[in-house]
Amino acid sequence: MDPDLIDRAGRGDTEAFTTLVLRLGDRLYSVAYRILRDTGRAEDAVQQAFLTAWRELPRLRDASRLEAWLYKLLVHACYAEILQTRRWQPGLRPVTDHDPGPTTDDAQLSVARRDELERAFHQVSGEHRAVLVMHHYLGYSGAEIAEVLGLSPGTVRSRLHYAR
Amino acid sequence: MTRELDFDRTLEDWLAEGPSQLPDHAIDGIVRQLDETPQRKHWWLPGRGGVNLLVPTLAGAAATGVVALFALGIYFGNPSGVGGPPVSSPAPIPSASPTDQQSPASTASPELEGRLFESERYGYALRLPDSEWLVVERRGEWGLGTTFDQDGPGIDSLLRPRLADYPFEVYLNSQLLPEDTTFDAWLSQYDELQRETFPHCVTEGESGSAAVDGEIARVGTVLCDEDGDQWFVTESLWQHGQRVYSLRVAEGHDWSLELDTAAESELWLSRITHSD
């Protein structure tokens, strides 16, 4: 990430910050969706994370930590989204445009398995979901997750174990 | 182990599904709110982009909770660009137009001469150097037991927006002194709070004093050091009646330990009078 870009954004340059949004937005959204399993709420969480980042960016000590910091802000925004709306998730996962749907027995099993995961995922807390997503989707190690979320490695390990 | 690997694979396949592109309307929503979301600058940190956040339009002023804006036509025109006794340090303001060298009487418009910015809420008046200056009053109150935050509530910010090379940032704030608290006790608590909140800013030299319309201000300068960025800030604190006042003069972002913030503070203090 371009340190000059981050510096300019920290000085109130909205164009520079918009560039950061364009560069990082997709990745953050991907993570938010996978934690929240809802596109609208994921958009809200990403928006919240970026606006918090904009507001607090002048205080960021180390520009090289921007991305990790953004993930932290995003995860906290996701926690807030989860707390706001505690509702029972319907058992059937909605079919979306990118879901080809089952065509074979294996695929049907896969759909059932996915539904099972969806249900189970919604029963897990935001903190556990975040750790699962960061490890299994982003590929972060336990130590990396601990650093980003400000947790001890032990806590990360236990959350991963519990969530799985 | 195989079962765990199967689970991991299934989980990862499942997580891989789903959208991965932030919709345009979401991006637009973020960008649209940037102008309305002030950046929270560290109060010791030279303002970064602060002018564009505070320079007003009336609509913008309403949006940011600004109470009032004043632009006054007083111009003192000494070589440093501000009134008062000449400063010993190099004048921070670069040479201006030839009219800057003339006396106030010859350049100031008659109806503007002698006009002051008056703060009704804080009970002080301030003689501004020239018509370029603005005072932006932010709504709210500086809460007891809280640090002085240049982005916080109740701040009066002194701006000369069209003179981008004025190298200082100047802020003033005030709060009521509780009846059962002496000024010295308030100072002691305030100093402790500042030390705890801003450990990267350390006192530079001995504190001094300066006169503010018959009151005596304690004047102290700190040197702040954050991520290799260094700058001076002078804070003057005084009591008048049941109020405490703080005037902050900090080096602007493009300056680093080059400016005499204490001298600049004295100039501003000499322009302040109390309304009662």
pLDDT, tens only, B195-238:
888 888 888 888 899 999 999 999 999 888 776 677 788 999 99
Bridge partner list, B272 = B126
Q: Is A75 on the interface with B (CB under 8 A)?
A: no
- Smallest Cβ distance to B30: which of A33, A39, A51? A51
Between chains, do A98 and B30 touch, taking CB under 8 Å as contact?
A: no
**What are the pLDDT digits (tens) for B155-198?**
888 876 554 557 788 999 999 999 999 999 999 999 998 888 88
Task: State yes or no: pLDDT of A54 exceeds 60.
Answer: yes
Between chains, do B26 and A13 touch, taking CB under 8 Å as contact?
A: no
Tell how strand B201-212 and strand B168-176 pair up. unpaired
3-state secondary structure of B83: coil
Task: Copy the structure tokens of residue A2.
Answer: 């371009």
pLDDT number for residue B197: 83
pLDDT number for residue B219: 94
Alpha-carbon Rg of chain A, whole angstroms? 17
CB A161 within 8 A of CB A153: no
**What are the pLDDT digits (tens) for A129-147?**
888 899 888 888 888 888 7
- More confidently predicted of B62 and A64: A64
Work out the minimum CA distance from A152 to partner chain B, whole angstroms: 23
CB B234 within 8 A of CB B241: no
ipTM (interface pTM) = 0.76
Q: Is A33 on the interface with B (CB under 8 A)?
A: yes
Task: Nearest chain A residue to B12 by CA: give it.
Answer: A136
pTM for this one? 0.45
Between chains, do A58 and B41 touch, taking CB under 8 Å as contact?
A: yes
Look at chain B and count its residues: 276
DSSP H stretches of helix in B1-103: 2-16, 24-34, 50-54, 58-63
Q: How confident is the model at residue A29 (pLDDT cuts 50, 70, 90)?
A: very high
* Nearest by Cα to A16 from A76, B255, A24: A24
Q: What end-to-end distance do the CA atoms of chain A give, in Å?
A: 33
Work out the minimum CA distance from A72 to partner chain B, whole angstroms: 18
Between chains, do B19 and A33 touch, taking CB under 8 Å as contact?
A: yes
CB A145 within 8 A of CB A151: yes
Between chains, do B37 and A164 touch, taking CB under 8 Å as contact?
A: no
Task: Nearest chain A residue to B39 by CA: give it.
Answer: A55
Between chains, do A62 and B227 touch, taking CB under 8 Å as contact?
A: yes
Query: For testing the chain B interface, which of A20, A33, A132 should be mutated: the one with the most B CBs within 10 Å?
Result: A33
Set of chain A residues whose Cβ sits within 8 Å of the Cβ of B10 = 113, 117
Between chains, do B49 and A11 touch, taking CB under 8 Å as contact?
A: yes
3-state secondary structure of B186: helix
Query: How many Cβ atoms sit within 10 Å of the Cβ of residue B266?
Result: 22
Lowest mean pLDDT among A23-27, A73-77, B224-228, B249-253: B224-228
Q: Is A47 on the interface with B (CB under 8 A)?
A: yes
Q: What interhelical angle do B24-34 and A14-36 show, nearest 10? A: 130
Identity of the residue numbered A150: G
Query: What mean pLDDT, rounded, does chain A reach?
Result: 79
Between chains, do B30 and A58 touch, taking CB under 8 Å as contact?
A: no
Set of chain B residues whose Cβ sits within 8 Å of the Cβ of A40 = none
Set of chain A residues whose Cβ sits within 8 Å of the Cβ of B24 = none
Query: For testing the chain A interface, which of B12, B27, B54 should be mutated: the one with the most A CBs within 10 Å?
Result: B27
Work out the minimum CA distance from B156 to partner chain A, whole angstroms: 20
- Smallest Cβ distance to A55: which of B14, B37, B42? B37
- More confidently predicted of B59 and B214: B214
Between chains, do B18 and A98 touch, taking CB under 8 Å as contact?
A: yes
Task: Nearest chain A residue to B254 by CA: give it.
Answer: A11
What is the DSSP secondary structure assignment for residue A73, as one 8-state letter? H
Query: How many Cβ atoms sit within 10 Å of the Cβ of residue B179?
Result: 6
Set of chain A residues whose Cβ sits within 8 Å of the Cβ of B34 = 14, 17-18, 51, 54
Task: Nearest chain B residue to A40 by CA: give it.
Answer: B26
Contacts of A157 (CB under 8 A, 6+ apart): A142
Q: Is A132 on the interface with B (CB under 8 A)?
A: yes
- Smallest Cβ distance to B39: which of A54, A61, A117? A54
Lowest mean pLDDT among A35-39, A70-74, A149-153, B265-269: A149-153
